[in-house]
Structures are given as C-alpha cells and as structure tokens.
Amino acid sequence: MPVPEASLAQLAGFERFLVRGPLEPYQTRGSAQFTYRGATESGELSLQAESGPQYRIQLRARVTGSLALDMRFDASDLLIVDYVHESYFLGGNAPETRKELFSLDMTPADFQMALTARVPEDVFQQGGGRLRPAEAEFSLHGDEYRFTLDETGLPVEWTKRTDGVLVLRVEYRSFVAFRQGRGPAIRLPERIRVYAGEPQPRLVLGLREWRIGADAAAPPITFIPPQDVLDRFRPQ
C-alpha cells in the first residue's frame, strides 16, 4: 500500500500509544458494517472528528453512492438522519440509547480509542495505568481496560469489562503507515473489528485513507437537522 504524506506536526500526536493532548481534528474514509435498529448496514464510510471531541459519520451505498445515514455525536448529543427511511433521531447520547439503536454501547471515549488505537495519557494515569512491554491496563469509573501490545507498542487487541463482565473487545487486523519525508512512519488502524460478547463483530471498519489535521472544506459539526429533514422526515 502506498504510504500517505502528512505533516510532522499533524502526526506528532499519534507518535505514542499514550497521547498527551487531543488528537482531533482528523478525517478517515473506508468501509463499514454495523447494526442499526436491528438491521445490518454496510457501505462506504467517511468520518470527520473535530475538537470536543465531536464526530460526524456518513454512510453511503456502495453501488449508487447515495447517502444512507448521517450520524453526529459527542459526549452528550446524538443526531442520526436516516435518508433511506426518511426519519431522524435527535436526543441524548446515553448508554440505553446506544444499545437500542446500535446493539452496542460504545462511549465517545471508547470510540476514539478504538478508532485511533491510542489512549489519553491523563486518563491512563487517572485510572492507575500500568504499562509493560506487551500489555497495558487501567481502570476508570468501574470499567477495566486491558490492552495487548505488539512489538511497536500499539494494541493488537483491547477489552473493556464493567463490574467484571466483558462488554467490548476491539481487534486490530492491520495498520497503515503515514510518513513525513524520511522520518519515522506513524501507524494508524486500517482494519478494526469490535465485539460485544458474541462471536460475530458488531462493528467492522476498513479504513483506506487517513487525513490528520483540519479540513478547511469540511462544514462544522452541528446537532440541528437540516431544514429539509425537519420538513419531510419523521422524528423517532
């Protein structure tokens, strides 16, 4: 695979498994498969991450390229516009809502860790984190996180347990390398699978393209449905 170019300043935040500051903004593209309202959805994915962090995910049909789902979320809010069924959801980003809609409860912090294969250093230290050559672990608010690390110090797998019960397992099948000139390559996830205690994954991502840094052409992430959606689509 060709090694993409990115500025050293943009990639600096991704140099280590434990990151010292915010990673946003960044964008990534690829493919996705997940469950939404009990049905399997798949297609071409584009993701925009902005400071906050805030996220916008768009899923397009593979053949036609038409927009199927537009999902936006942060720690408190969730907006999903379903263009296939002409409906939308606007409400709080709560655990019960995530389970009902996606059959998977990933907090925004879990999503960030799964997507980037990085952990905020302050969160790690707050949770009594322990880092060893092939593994890492920390606990926070009753949740236990354990990571299996490869020879470069990045995870090949991590788990989250709540009150001793396994609730998430994230598996990395491959990484892609970004390089600035002749400097060292920065590895970012390429193929990700997320499990929730069952043999089949609840979320599958294949990320072909990463862009680190701000995209001047990207619109700001808002949680106000477009007017045509409010006019024509039914709320759920």
Q: What is the reported pLDDT for 3?
A: 47
CATH number at residue 56: 2.50.20.10
pLDDT over 70 at 9, yes or no: no
The answer to whether 99 and 167 have CB atoms below 8 angstroms apart is: no
Residue 29 is assigned to a structural domain of this protein:
yes
Residue 2 is assigned to a structural domain of this protein:
no
Average pLDDT over residues 17-42: 94
Triad 149, 152, 153: Cα angle to 5°: 40
Q: What is the reported pLDDT for 195?
A: 97
Residue 18 is assigned to a structural domain of this protein:
yes
Q: What is the reported pLDDT for 177?
A: 86
Confidence of residue 1 (pLDDT cuts 50, 70, 90): very low
The boundaries of the domain holding residue 223 are 8-235
Residue 3 is assigned to a structural domain of this protein:
no
User: How many domains does the chain fold into?
Assistant: 1
Residue 1 is assigned to a structural domain of this protein:
no
The answer to whether 73 and 79 have CB atoms below 8 angstroms apart is: yes
Q: Percent of the chain scored above 90 by pLDDT?
A: 79
Q: What is the reported pLDDT for 200?
A: 93
Q: What is the reported pLDDT for 10?
A: 64
Nearest C-alpha neighbor of 175 from the set 220, 205, 218, 141: 205
Average pLDDT over residues 63-88: 96
Instruction: For the chain, give the mean pLDDT.
Output: 92
Distances (CA, A) of 10 to 47, 58, 210, 213: 17, 23, 12, 6
